[in-house]
Homo-oligomer: A and B are copies of this chain.
Amino acid sequence: MITDPFDAGPRGAFKALCRSYPDDTVFRGDDGFRSLWGPIFYRGRADGSARLLVIGQDPAQTEAFTRRILSGQAGRRVQGFVEKLGLTRRYLMVNAFLYGIYNQDMALPHLHDPEIEAYRNQWLRAALAPGRIEAVVTFGTPAREAWKAFLQSPAGAGVTVFQQAALHPTADKPNGPISRQDLLDNWNVALQHLHPRIAHPDAAVPLVPYGADFTAAELPEIPSRDLPMGLQAWMRSTDFWATLASPPGTERANISIQVP
């Protein structure tokens, strides 16, 4: 028998936000968004119990299948990060963009489009409303800018929760300016700032920093309780089983799913 817990879904204000959301006239295909795959709303506890709020950037093809954000390669890196803070379940992850992006140069300038920002701010307000969030971590520049904009909005007035910026989980592109070591050094600094802020971890653990590379233990599987019912272990513990079929760089890219 398989007895994995699964995500029973959003509650309250979170559920309402999954029930009413901007469409492809807001996240336009011509603006670089892959709105055809639909929105991917969150991962983690959309029920008011979260202690850490994680803000990422946008969902990709793996997430189009799992229907939860941060469940592919970037997601497993982030999962290791939050578990170093002693958080194995009481986190909520949302993205700066509700829909995937196929062209960053086109899409990122729309971060502050009024309807995009207003909807995102509703999520951030809903996350903070229960009063349990002890820290916010933003991964990547759009996430950091999204948080800043929230603080400057009416919805964010008076918010004083601690916020830490970190590099995007896959900022270490091959031949790019940011090395794996740069990424992990940045994450170690972020962890040092965040760790003392989490007063109610799921399990109190001493902070163990990253070394020169991610270890296997630092790339844990996505917890089954974060994903819909019936998703299998290989969907949580392996990467790259969902790939963009040809042509990859367009709005209408297709997905190829390969059983590992």
**Interface residue ranges, A against B (CB under 8 Å):** 1-6, 8-10, 15, 18-23, 36-41, 65, 67, 228-232, 234-235, 245, 252-259
Chain B min CB distance to A253 (Å): 8
The complex places the Cα of A47 from the Cα of B10 at a distance, in Å, of 17
Across the interface, which residues of B come within 8 angstroms of A20, CB to CB? 1-3
Across the interface, which residues of B come within 8 angstroms of A234, CB to CB? 36
Across the interface, which residues of B come within 8 angstroms of A252, CB to CB? 259
A-B contacts, 5 of them at CB < 8 A, read A4-B19, A9-B229, A36-B232, A253-B259, A254-B257
Chain B min CB distance to A116 (Å): 13
Whether B1 pairs with A8 at a CB distance below 8 angstroms is: no
The complex places the Cα of A134 from the Cα of B238 at a distance, in Å, of 45
The complex places the Cα of A259 from the Cα of B256 at a distance, in Å, of 12
The complex places the Cα of A4 from the Cα of B252 at a distance, in Å, of 23
Return the chain B residue nearest A5 by Cβ: B19
Across the interface, which residues of B come within 8 angstroms of A37, CB to CB? 232, 259
Whether A257 pairs with B255 at a CB distance below 8 angstroms is: yes
Chain B min CB distance to A180 (Å): 30
Chain B min CB distance to A65 (Å): 7
Whether A1 pairs with B18 at a CB distance below 8 angstroms is: no
Across the interface, which residues of B come within 8 angstroms of A8, CB to CB? 9, 15
Q: Give me 15 other A-B pairs in contact (C-beta within 8 A), A38-B232, A245-B258, A254-B258 excluded.
A: A1-B20, A1-B21, A1-B22, A2-B22, A8-B15, A9-B9, A36-B232, A36-B259, A37-B259, A38-B235, A65-B65, A67-B230, A67-B231, A253-B259, A254-B259
Across the interface, which residues of B come within 8 angstroms of A3, CB to CB? 19-20
Across the interface, which residues of B come within 8 angstroms of A39, CB to CB? 2, 230
The complex places the Cα of A41 from the Cα of B37 at a distance, in Å, of 23
Whether A6 pairs with B18 at a CB distance below 8 angstroms is: yes
The complex places the Cα of A22 from the Cα of B229 at a distance, in Å, of 13
If A254-B258, A257-B254 touch, does A19 touch B38 (CB 8 Å cutoff)? no
Return the chain B residue nearest A115 by Cβ: B1
